[in-house]
Structure 1
Amino acid sequence: MSTLSLAPAFSMGTAAAAPVQLRSGVRLTRRGRLVVFLTSLFVVLAVAFALAGGAVGTDSAGEQIPTEIVQVGPGDTLWGIASEIATDGDVRSAMNEIERLNALESAGLQAGQKLRVPVVSD
C-alpha cells in the first residue's frame, strides 16, 4: 500500500500572516471628487456645444413654398392628387413633395383628410 502526505501551503504557526492591502498614491477628498466631477462635466458640455454648433444648415431662412389645402375625397389617391398638380409631368416628385409637406409615412389616404399641396401656377 502507498500513502500520500500533503504539505500545508502556509504555516499556521504563532505569527499568522496579515493580508496585504495595496493603497494607491492618490486619495481624493470630498472637495477633490467634486472638482473632478465638475471638470468632467465641463469637458462633456464643451464637446457637446462644439459638435452642436456645426449642425446649423444655413445662416438664412429657407423660402416657403406657397401651398393650398385639399380635402381628400372617397377614392382619391396620392398619385391622382399629385398628377393634378404636376405641371411638368413628373408625378413622383409631386408625390414626394406632398408627402414631405404633410409628413406622411405612407401613400395611403383617408376620405376627409386635409392635405397641403403646392399651388399650381398656370
Structure 2
Amino acid sequence: MAEVPALHGSTALWALTPTRPEARLRSVPAGRAARSAATFGPRVPRPSRGIPQAAGPAQPRTSMQRSAERPLSLTRRGRLVLVGLPIALGVAALILLGAFLTSQAQAGESLPAPAAAVEVSVAAGESLWDLALRYAPDRDPRDVVAEMVELNDLRSSVVQAGQDIAVPVGG
C-alpha cells in the first residue's frame, strides 16, 4: 500500500495511516442473529441480583411486594429534606416565640401613672431648668426638663418670656 505524504497542521494524523478500505461487516452468533432479526417486542427483564425469580408465567407485582423485596433507600437530597425540614421549622418556631415574648406590647404591661401638671407662664430670664428645680425639687431636673419638652411638644429646651408651659409636679 502506498503511503500518503504527511501534511503539517491539524489534518496530519490521517496522512500517517495507510489507505485501505475499512471492514463494515462483522460476524454474529446464530442465536443472537435470530433474536435481533425478530420483531422488536417487549424486553424480558433480566433477573436482579439477590432476588429469586419465580418459574412460570410472570404476574404483575403489587407495590407492597416490591417494597418487601428491597429496603427503603434515601438519596442525599431525601436525607437532607427528612432531617433539615424539621430542624428549619423548629428554628422558625423558636424565633417567632422569642419575638412574641420580647415584643413591646408584652414588655410594658402597666402604664406609668400620669403626673400632675401645672400651667406656668415663663418669666423673663427663666429656663426650663429653673422651672424644674422650682416645681419638682425632689426629682432629677434632667428628667423633668425632658418631660416638659415632651408634654408641650417643644422642638428645643429654649422658651420665650410669657410662654405658657405645662410643668409636671411632684414625684
- For Structure 1 versus Structure 2, the TM-score category normalised by the shorter chain is 0.3 to 0.5
> How high is the TM-score relative to the length of structure 2?
0.33
Bigger-Rg structure (1/2): 2
Which gives a bigger RCO, structure 1 or 2 (Cα 8 Å, sep 6+)?
1
> How high is the TM-score relative to the length of structure 1?
0.45
